[in-house]
A = this chain, B = another copy of it.
Amino acid sequence: MRRKKALRGAAGCPYSMLNRRAATLTVENNLIVTLHVIFAVKEFCPQAQIVKIGTMGEYGTPNVDIEEGWLEVEHKGRRQKFLCPRQASSLYHTTKIMDTDLLWFYIRTWKIRATDLMQGPVYGLFTDECAEEERLLPFFNYDEIFGTVLNRFVVQAVAGYPLTVYGKGNQIRRHLNIKDTLNCVRLSLENTGKKGELRIFNQFTETFTVNELAERVQRVGNELDLNVKIQPMENPRVEAEEHYYNPAHTGLLELGLEPHFLSDEVLREMMELVMKYRDRINHDAIFRGVKWG
């Protein structure tokens, strides 16, 4: 029962690709819940700002620069500003495109307000506020279904499991530390958007290829005597392994975000904490072979 509840509350890209049941749950969770929140705001507190966590995955990896949410399109001599064209590479990310469209529809119609934070994969185990008190540590997903790539690599390194690089490993993704995630939400709340506005920020601080991440984890892990191996494998996902990528991300910096970049020291801190609890790692969860096809 507890496991079922966890699945209902969680959002995940490989999870959404598991089977029809998981796909249905993903659509229902992301859209019906967003719909109900919008109705609740309209009915009970129309001045409130909705802050929604979106995802950089909505944009996919287009051959054009990615702006922060909006694009002025010129076509046959006429112009209009639209939501950036988006095409994602999992059902989960596709439903995030949809809930952005849902928000934008009701914002136009009811003049409510919202900020959509297009977040990259988050890594990290703690913020400064909870680092000293382990009972306050947040949820940590390191498994194939819900874990993000760097968290997975860190646990794989500690567990003696070869790092699972999918395909060529040249997929570029944008990352941020969990500390920055929470600051982005705080900055969005403290600097409210306007009535009738869908404000969109691209929420990440750095971009890395999967190979770059694997090599850093290997280097730092080996300094900790972990003997880390990298194991490229056939890509279970349908995604571009070589692609152009140039996403803007200035909005949150302008609001005052001070990024925590990924240093060897940050990686070492993560690994040392995971090493402390290495006997709790569930090896069966590390790789479960979910395929997109």
- A→B interface (CB under 8 Å): 20, 23-24, 27-28, 31-32, 35-36, 39, 62-65, 71, 73-76, 78-80, 82-83, 85, 87-89, 91, 94, 97-98, 101-102, 104-105, 108-110, 238, 244, 292-293
Distance (whole angstroms) from the CB of A52 to the closest CB of chain B: 16
User: How many copies of the chain does the oligomer comprise?
Assistant: 2
- With A32-B28, A73-B73 already in contact, the answer to whether A78 and B244 are too (CB < 8 A) is yes
Q: Which 5 A-B pairs have the closest CB atoms?
A: A82-B85, A64-B75, A63-B80, A98-B98, A94-B105
A15 to B275, CA, bound (A): 56
Residues of B within 8 A of A292 (CB): 109
Residues of B within 8 A of A101 (CB): 87, 94, 97-98
A85 to B89, CA, bound (A): 18
Distance (whole angstroms) from the CB of A43 to the closest CB of chain B: 8
Establish whether residues B24 and A35, one from each chain, have CB atoms under 8 Å apart when the complex forms: yes
A97 to B62, CA, bound (A): 20
Distance (whole angstroms) from the CB of A39 to the closest CB of chain B: 5
Residues of B within 8 A of A73 (CB): 64, 71, 73, 85
Among candidates B23, B87, B98, residue contacting A39 with C-beta atoms closer than 8 Å? B23
A-B contact pairs, 20 of them (CB 8 A): A20-B36, A23-B35, A23-B39, A24-B32, A24-B35, A28-B32, A64-B76, A64-B78, A65-B78, A82-B85, A83-B85, A85-B85, A87-B101, A89-B109, A91-B105, A94-B102, A97-B101, A98-B101, A108-B238, A110-B293
Establish whether residues A65 and B76, one from each chain, have CB atoms under 8 Å apart when the complex forms: yes
Residues of B within 8 A of A75 (CB): 64-65, 71
A189 to B71, CA, bound (A): 36
Distance (whole angstroms) from the CB of A261 to the closest CB of chain B: 26
A62 to B108, CA, bound (A): 14
Name which residue of chain B comes closest to A63, CB basis. B80
A91 to B101, CA, bound (A): 10
Residues of B within 8 A of A293 (CB): 109-110
A36 to B25, CA, bound (A): 12
Residues of B within 8 A of A35 (CB): 20, 23-24, 27
Name which residue of chain B comes closest to A97, CB basis. B101
Distance (whole angstroms) from the CB of A29 to the closest CB of chain B: 12
Among candidates B23, B39, B64, B78, residue contacting A63 with C-beta atoms closer than 8 Å? B78
A sample of 18 more A-B contacts (CB under 8 A), given A20-B36, A27-B31, A94-B105, is A20-B35, A31-B98, A62-B80, A63-B78, A64-B73, A64-B74, A64-B76, A65-B76, A74-B74, A78-B244, A83-B85, A83-B87, A87-B101, A89-B108, A94-B101, A109-B238, A109-B292, A110-B293
Residues of B within 8 A of A244 (CB): 78
